[in-house]
Chains A and B, each alone.
Chain A
Amino acid sequence: MTVLARRTRPGHTVALSISGAVLAAIALAAIAPDLLATHDPLLTDVRSALQPPSSAHWFGTDQSGRDVYSRVVFGAGRSVGIGLLATGLALFVGVIAGSLSAVSPRGVDAAAMRVVDVLSAFPEFLVALLVVAVLGPGPTNIAVAVTIAAVPVYIRLARAQTRSLAATEHVEAARIIGVPALVVHLRHVLPGVLGAVSVLATIGIGTSILAAAGLSFLGLGPTEPTAEWGLMLSAGRNLLLQAPWVAVFPGLAITATVVSVSVIGRIVRARSEERGA
């Protein structure tokens, strides 16, 4: 084995393919749930309520006789979607606010950073809860809440990247040959900032999915009978003794998703650090 080949750790390939497979399945469930589901996720059938996992109902049935497996499949789009939306928004807002702050007059920049400081003094989940308190519950609002909770980190990173890139020689050179400031920023600074912040985002997706699921577990997100993992867990909470499968499988789905996203996020980060070094 050559020195170069050894740099990619053997565990990486295995971890990468398993995580990739899990995420592919979840993506399929999110895009075309009908292909994977065996039942209608909303179809109630009181006669077959609370049945344990079987060949007819792979993950069992819930208190209304709905098929838990099909509900987990249909929940993928909403549960993962809210986390993705929140991360995407945080990336977008973070890059704009961070790079604007970096090029603003010093007073504005300092004031903006103090606001970010105060915001990041609070634990993320609490910030998300408080935003829901202001906006009211609902799926869109919890996505916004998770965005606001996550955004300070993105703003800080985007600001730091903008400042350090603005001081590099090729940006300096572009400015000297008379390229307008806006063009310099868009063509030479912004792409670099986006790269760094995207790496952070791949790691942040997992956290956002967890936070969104937590809010909907508390009853602040989508409402019954929507199939959503956090909400399903909350319904299964009172059935632990008779029917633990109602809560176990949606939870497993969340964990499997977040583990896979984190594994891929870490590999992405490791690769980008290697490239940077």
Chain B
Amino acid sequence: MTTRRTFVIRLIAASGLAWAVSGGTALAQGAKPVRIGFSIAKTGIFAAAAPSQLNAYELWREQVNARGGMEIGKEKRPVEFVMYDDQSNPAQAAKIYEKLITDDKVELLLAPWGTPMHVAVAPVLERLRFPMVGNTAASVKVRELKPGNIWFTTAAIPDRIGRELAAMLKANGVKSAALLTNVLPFGKEIKGYLEPALKRAGIEIKVNEEYPPDVKDMTAMLARVKQAAPDAVLALSYPGDSALYVRQAKELGIGARFQFVMIGPAMDFFPKALGSAANDIVTVGEWSPARNARAKGFHAAYVAKFKEKPDYLDSALAYMSCEILEQAVKSAGLDKTRLREAISKGSFETINGTVRFKGVENALTKTGFLQLQSGEPQLVWPAAEATAKFRPKTSW
């Protein structure tokens, strides 16, 4: 079944279904649009995650064009997107970026969704010497990428998450934890750093289980957690199973006062689908609209345009990469060598404060955690940047 499906999908893709759509709005007569290319997971396993990123891109394009376009040297040019569906397939993404550069001859690039795509696209960028500011990729593996043509805006790198989460647990008096890990790469990688960090912090791991991404029921696993009654539950989960965890933990009445759910709670659908059960859940995220005026403006514009809140993780990261690209182009123009210089050495004002790169990594943004408080994600860690204090979860 699966192979036939994949085969047919490929067949269709190969026959040019890839729906190159330029979303450009016709703007000021005369100025030639800047064509910015990217691939995005419109279909396939990552499709549910990609809209938060694509929405941020579209919002940015609309705002830039409303300002008259991107400043390049002395002129302003409207932004036009060249977008393809990569079907959540890294190999396909790599092919698309090669085509964008060599065939479509786009002038700039934005990033695809997710770590596997970024890692697949990086060699193409390196070979064709084309700089791209990445966003939604988080793996210590990205540090192995040769710096120079790709950068990452995120601070949610697994080793840093492991360290910071253990520190936050300790600071809140947690002595024992249950660790539930979805076996997808990001979860497993975090687990690899979190386990030793917990040990160092003197936190006993009472339950330590892994589960497959297509899990449909957690009753058995959560019954074991309930029996062990740990101070904290750390679910290294993805949006689908994050919601499943919350529903079934509520059903069984898991009473841990610190509950961490990795990916999902920062997304708009989460509190809507789960109501009060999602309250006081801690999750990965280092951004909040309270960060600065830009952040507030971004949040308001996003809500006005899409009638939902941005994803505090991915939408923010994607928008930051657009801001960085815009500022770098303003100072360096479209010449790739100068642009590369500008991104590597420059310092940029973003919705998450000032960003500067060291190698491929964002050197300034601190790894943080959000907590859903009355449906609103609040930054609760690191303490110095918190917008609210951590609240123990006392009810469902």
Partners in one complex: no
* B residues in contact (CB < 8 Å) with A: none
* A residues in contact (CB < 8 Å) with B: none
